[in-house]
Structure 1
Amino acid sequence: VNQEHEVIQIETASRRSDTAERAITLEELFKAPPGRPRPIRTVMTKGVAGIGKTLLTHKFTVDWAEDKAQQEVHYTFPLTFRELNVLRGRSFSLVGLVDHFFSGSKEAGICSFQDFLILFILDGLDECRLSLDFLSTQTLTDVSESTSVEVLLVNLIRGELLPSARLWITTEPAAANQIPPECVDMVTEVRGFTDPQKEEYFRRRSTDEEQVSRIMSHIRTCRSLHIMCHIPLFCWITATVLEDMLKSREKRELPKTLTQIYSHYVVLQNKVKMVKFDRGAATDPHWSPQSREMMESLGKLAFEQLQKGKLIFYESDLTECGMDLRAASVCSGVFTQVFREESSLYQDKVFTFTHLSLQEFLAALHVHQTFISSKVSLLEHKPQKKKTSKNLLHCGVEPDFNLLHQSAVDEALQSPNGHLDLFLRFLLGLSLPTNQRLLQGLLTQTGSDSQTIQRTVEYIKEKLGESLSTERSINLFHCLNELNDRSLLEEIQQSMRSGCLSRQRLSPAQWSALVFILLSSQEHLDVFDLKSFSPSEEAFVKLLPVIKAAKKADSCGLSERSCADLSSVLSSQSSSVKHLDLSNNDLQDSGVELLCEGLKSPHCKLDYLRLSSCDLSERSCAALSSVLRSQSSSVKHLDLSNNNLQDSGVKLLCEGLKSPHCKLDSLRSVGSHVPSILSCSSSPHFLSGCVNTDVGGASLASDLSSNSSSVRELDLSYNHPGDSAVKLLSQRLHTLR
């Protein structure tokens, strides 16, 4: 189950630089990598809403039709789950299903699918409302046998029905686990715009160089906007708002938060409706009763369907929310850039918001307005209570927004997949008088005062002091930004500038603020050195999210207790650590054994490990040897210098060096101490000072001389391997000291 809201996933991906990943072209989509024994049949492409997955499938189909990509494919059949959902309860054969969508396929003579190489594109798995049961669905192999659409899809994806076909499935990350991993041969991801591509996008929209420069400069200074601009559609929303504001004669401050951007956007779309459809003037009152009623209906639909996790709406969904098809069609006709009716091959109408974030914004608007008008918190599904608590203050008959906001914070923190994270940012942002003025005429102003907002800020800071996941903490800092409060971050930034951070006793909330700042800094994520902050075990534990995101990490003041946490970091799929230096820490053998569990994980990306002077013995060598033998291990450079490994330890290491899976390129063992993963010396080494007799040297010589050994560099400084061993080693190694 995915534990992050899509926006947080984008933020995480923007920090990640994994050399194991590579960009691929559409032409390479089904090309098997070197060494793969069988061809790629099924590709899954993941990506957050609005990132361009569907557009990519359209481009692929056009390129294929124009003989620019996948020319070996005879027929391509692009299908969407939105359309397949409509067929729930009906029976088809695979041949019949294709003919239903692509009439004339039978007449074209393609009934016998086995005679052709066919590609099925299944777009939008996250929108699937069919029950795909991969465990108990009956097997089907005949393309002409009729059954339910669900059974057809399951057998097609499992490869039992038409195994010669290729499949391309697109999905948002949270829904990817609906398909068993064994049914997917390759996973790709659409990452959206890089920073240069963002600038290119804005430059293509306008020939006004000054305007483009102002927009780019503004986005760079607003982190939440900069992150969201990875999504092409958000770039469009942002550009629409900023270009309109910059061409206005009014000198207004450009929006810095998501709530401000979306408030401006909704107002702008209403102006377009007023001029285009109501035949009014841009100077007319912004919100007519009809427009306000439409927005209220859309807000109700947005919130109720967001609670159910639904992002596309059929007639039954509209009916549940008190909206009929005609009203929905009218809304999509006049607010075309907010709510739209999807084109479909059927009479069944399908509706959706132009982007998930717009649904979240209108949902927050609905909850805010409902609380003002009826004093009902839709998050609690009951009227506001009269009873007060130490955190909740009630002012006469006025609705207490602290009650609503604190309830919303709690709901968002309890969400297993973060689906309310962006909704929460918008809801809090709407409490600011500045944003309420932007929506004047649509939103009833509440007279929210600075004390109310400050109480919400303090509640969020209390929550930041609790044990939260990194993703939830990050979102709460973005919430504080929506409330125009950066005090916690400014405290830490001042301490960092003054150089006194390592001497301060930080509160839990301040630790969270430090993590947020460091995760936003590319400098610290290139090389993270714990000594710069606080060389202690407490600091190490608090800053684990930063260590996980860093490419190189240097830690000190640690003991064996830290190794379990570090092992979990290394085995995490989202870890970026490639170089780790744990030298001069009292890890002991028990700590290294814990560490090795993470090193054997298939997700571990560690390339260079330094364990010098870590009080290690032959016991650690047994654990490290098992790592070297592991097929998933990526360690190429190992420094165990200044540890008391003894000849017996070296013999154990040699068992790992002989393994065909061992990827070790250089080994240092001077003086018998163990190294870790961060700082790399100019050349990597392994056993310097750890081999005290010719017994260990002979073992090394024998094992490293075997054809299976990958070691190319060996440091045996301050050891006595013996003349015969040196001769053998000289023949095998490129560098010998």
Structure 2
Amino acid sequence: TADEVLRRVIQKHKASLKRRFENISEGIIKSGAETLLNKIYTELYITEGESEGVNKEHEVWQVESASRAQTTEDTPINCNDIFKPLLGQEKNIRTVMTKGVAGIGKTVSVQKFILDWIDGVANQNVDFMFPLPFRELNLVRSDQYSLHKLLLAFHPELMELKDGDEYRDCQVVFIFDGLDESRLPLNFQQNIISDLKQTSSVDVLMTSLIQGSLLHSAHIWITSRPAAASQIPAQCIDQVTEVRGFNDPQKEEYFRKRISDESQTSRIISHIKASRSLHIMCHIPVFCWIAATVLQQMLDKTKDIPKTLTEMFIHFLLIQTRRKDQKYQSGTETDEEKLLKSQKEMLLKLGELAFNNLENGNLMFYEEDLKECGIDVSEASVYSGMCTEIFKEESVFHQRKVYCFVHLSIQEFLAAVFVFHSYVTENFEALKSLLSEEHKPSHFVSSLQSVMGLQSQDHLHVLLKSAVDKALKSRNGHLDLFLRFLMGISLKSNQTLLKGLLNHKHSSSKSVKETCQYIKKLNSEDLSPERCINLFHCLFEMNDYSKHKEIQKYLESPKNIKQKLSPAHCSALAHILLMSEEVLDEFDLKKYNTSDEGRRRLLPALRCYSKGR
């Protein structure tokens, strides 16, 4: 009978999804590296609604604000309950948008949601769950399908269902994971379809499903990085949730689950707590994994534990490349130099791929993207095999390959390495896209060529200032973290760690000082508080704490309360308060002798206070 066929198909469908989703590969996609998801799953912090202004800023800022924004007023939601109205709500929730930064745990939440349904833990009223990640839909974007034919292409176990009419009488959930990775032209003004059997392009199917003209009874769950979420009109979304990653107890739980040695775990947690910058970044589960990888290796071997983001990522790069090459296991400086030299060509090609795609926000790469950087597909498999935890290859739709960096921050780090290498090797062409409008490319290149022609090694400030100008013009801060890394790599100590990859010794102390001075003099009325505070992060990466010291002096001396604070000082003050472990009761903006612009720059610090005025 039709009912028996349906039951049989549902069982096959669940078995197929179980095979696909029961394992998790943390940062890695390779056979043998998987762990059962249920064994290490740490509950994530998911809330209804979103942080104010969360769409407008670079993801690092969203993490920093989220780390301060977990108040008692938040309503945490279990990922299994996203379609259930909250207490006091009466609306029917058909379409949910879940936002969250890269690596924060959106895909893992989807995986857990599907597994709990298969295992009978939750959502037992649902007959079918159809995960259709955008990275896979991209591969069929130029083809024509009916809804049932599209589902068959991704879920062949549905073959016994004739034409998809059965879906009308079933409770169906469609999960569109990774809207930020979509290359479909999602046009909600275009023709939509309502007939299940009608053939159309994939993007028309998507928009018709999301709008509800096609299979209105279905539930839709879309996940996205915040900057891409606006592709879906607000009127199509019934509920917005936000994944904020780990709160502080969940962060510690993650380290205790991941590392079996209890004393080592405690030392790692203590070290991370002592560095506010690392502590904030550990709200991202993927960053927890990077920090655990580095600190596990380093705590027993050296006193020079990474304190800045740049140091952390350089050590992560060294550990991952060393793991792939048994010849350099001893970890001595000479061996590390030889190691980086042996993999230099590969890492620089990855750096070029990272940099070229940073501007337009591409996280997923296909064959054509790799070819543009001189990487052929057979090479990419080798790269992925050698550096699985930096760059990964996935088989999606009919075993087609897609590639990505395991986290956006790794893409930004390698992009900065590539830019610095391009500067020291006089590859001016590669630097052109980084230039701010004030520097005409021809003028910049000729001035750079003239100083390089003189064999001077200390005109790096020309490039660094240009990178600062370019980053400050970004509305959503998409170059903020890249800029932090570029400033960090300009330090001689970090270049020494990267010896072998950056062969040309570059004495940059004069340029570093000049760039620090340039940053400290910037006082643009148009600068957002977040852009200003990122500049202070950049100063930290270059070991310049002078503005902090001035502010601390000011705060510690009540008799100086009448001294007027410049807007730059206000940014530094906001930053000190943000990075402080203390959460205070009240913050009175009127107390400070500063301009309206200065008070505007103090606004981010309100995140640290229960009351602000």
The TM-score with structure 1 as length reference comes to 0.70
Question: 1-side partners of 2:130 and 2:268: how far apart?
Answer: 41
Cα distance per residue 1:20-44 (max 9 Å; x no partner): 5300113321112355444110011
Q: Are 2:188 and 1:129 aligned?
A: no
- Aligned pair in 2 of structure 1 residues 255, 540: CA closer, same or farther (>3 Å)? closer
Question: Aligned AA for 1:346?
Answer: H
Q: Are 2:533 and 1:474 aligned?
A: yes
Structure of greater Rg: 1
Cα distance per residue 1:580-607 (max 9 Å; x no partner): xxxxxxxxxxxxxxxxxxxxxxxxxxxx
- Aligned pair in 2 of structure 1 residues 524, 337: CA closer, same or farther (>3 Å)? closer
Q: Are 2:156 and 1:113 aligned?
A: no
Question: 2-side partners of 1:394 and 1:330: how far apart?
Answer: 36
- CA positional deviation for 1:345: 2.6
Question: 1-side partners of 2:477 and 2:533: how far apart?
Answer: 11
- Aligned pair in 2 of structure 1 residues 67, 209: CA closer, same or farther (>3 Å)? closer
Question: Aligned AA for 1:291?
Answer: Q
- CA positional deviation for 1:270: 1.4
Question: Aligned AA for 1:255?
Answer: P
- Aligned pair in 2 of structure 1 residues 107, 537: CA closer, same or farther (>3 Å)? closer
Question: Aligned AA for 1:120?
Answer: F
Aligned pair partner of 1:398 in 456, 480, 499 = 456
Q: Are 2:202 and 1:149 aligned?
A: yes
SS at match of 2:343: helix
Question: 1-side partners of 2:539 and 2:422: how far apart?
Answer: 23
Question: Aligned AA for 1:504?
Answer: Q
- Aligned pair in 2 of structure 1 residues 387, 87: CA closer, same or farther (>3 Å)? closer
Question: 1-side partners of 2:355 and 2:144: how far apart?
Answer: 34
Query: Is the 1:302–1:359 contact (alpha carbons within 8 Å) kept by the matching residues of 2?
Result: yes
Match for residue 605 of structure 1?
Answer: none
Aligned pair partner of 2:365 in 298, 307, 313 = 313
SS at match of 2:425: helix
Q: Are 2:395 and 1:337 aligned?
A: no
Residue range with higher mean Cα deviation, 377-386 or 53-62? 377-386
- Aligned pair in 2 of structure 1 residues 524, 532: CA closer, same or farther (>3 Å)? farther
Query: Is the 2:424–2:506 contact (alpha carbons within 8 Å) kept by the matching residues of 1?
Result: no
- Aligned pair in 2 of structure 1 residues 539, 173: CA closer, same or farther (>3 Å)? closer
Question: Aligned AA for 1:168?
Answer: W
SS at match of 2:220: strand
- CA positional deviation for 1:473: 1.0
SS at match of 2:467: helix
- Aligned pair in 2 of structure 1 residues 348, 533: CA closer, same or farther (>3 Å)? same
Question: 2-side partners of 1:326 and 1:231: how far apart?
Answer: 32
Structure with greater contact order relative to length (CA < 8 Å, sep ≥ 6): 2
Question: 1-side partners of 2:367 and 2:600: how far apart?
Answer: 51
Cα distance per residue 1:611-663 (max 9 Å; x no partner): xxxxxxxxxxxxxxxxxxxxxxxxxxxxxxxxxxxxxxxxxxxxxxxxxxxxx
The aligned runs of 1:97-246 (5 Å cut-off) are 97-108=150-161, 111-135=165-189, 137-246=190-299
Aligned pair partner of 1:50 in 92, 96, 103 = 103
- CA positional deviation for 1:396: 2.7
Query: Is the 1:465–1:507 contact (alpha carbons within 8 Å) kept by the matching residues of 2?
Result: no
SS at match of 2:223: strand
Structure 2: 5+ residue stretches without partners: 1-53, 436-440
- CA positional deviation for 1:216: 1.9
Match for residue 254 of structure 1?
Answer: 305
Cα distance per residue 1:266-289 (max 9 Å; x no partner): 1111111111xx697656733355
Cα distance per residue 1:336-360 (max 9 Å; x no partner): 1111101213242100011111111
% identity of equivalent residues: 49
- CA positional deviation for 1:440: 1.2
- CA positional deviation for 1:330: 0.7
- CA positional deviation for 1:67: 1.1
Query: Is the 2:586–2:611 contact (alpha carbons within 8 Å) kept by the matching residues of 1?
Result: yes
Query: Is the 1:519–1:525 contact (alpha carbons within 8 Å) kept by the matching residues of 2?
Result: no
Question: 2-side partners of 1:36 and 1:324: how far apart?
Answer: 53
Aligned pair partner of 1:298 in 344, 350, 354 = 350
Question: 2-side partners of 1:93 and 1:305: how far apart?
Answer: 33
Aligned pair partner of 1:21 in 74, 78, 90 = 74
Question: 2-side partners of 1:534 and 1:433: how far apart?
Answer: 39
CA RMSD of aligned residues (A): 2.5
- Aligned pair in 2 of structure 1 residues 542, 411: CA closer, same or farther (>3 Å)? closer
Match for residue 263 of structure 1?
Answer: 314
Match for residue 526 of structure 1?
Answer: 585
Question: Aligned AA for 1:29?
Answer: I
SS at match of 2:103: coil
Cα distance per residue 1:706-731 (max 9 Å; x no partner): xxxxxxxxxxxxxxxxxxxxxxxxxx
The aligned runs of 1:439-454 (5 Å cut-off) are 439-454=498-513
SS at match of 2:307: coil
Query: Which structure has greater helix proportion?
Result: 2
Question: 2-side partners of 1:325 and 1:548: how far apart?
Answer: 46
- Aligned pair in 2 of structure 1 residues 19, 331: CA closer, same or farther (>3 Å)? same
Match for residue 31 of structure 2?
Answer: none
Residue range with higher mean Cα deviation, 148-157 or 523-532? 523-532
Question: 1-side partners of 2:172 and 2:191: how far apart?
Answer: 23
Q: Are 2:593 and 1:515 aligned?
A: no
The TM-score with structure 2 as length reference comes to 0.84
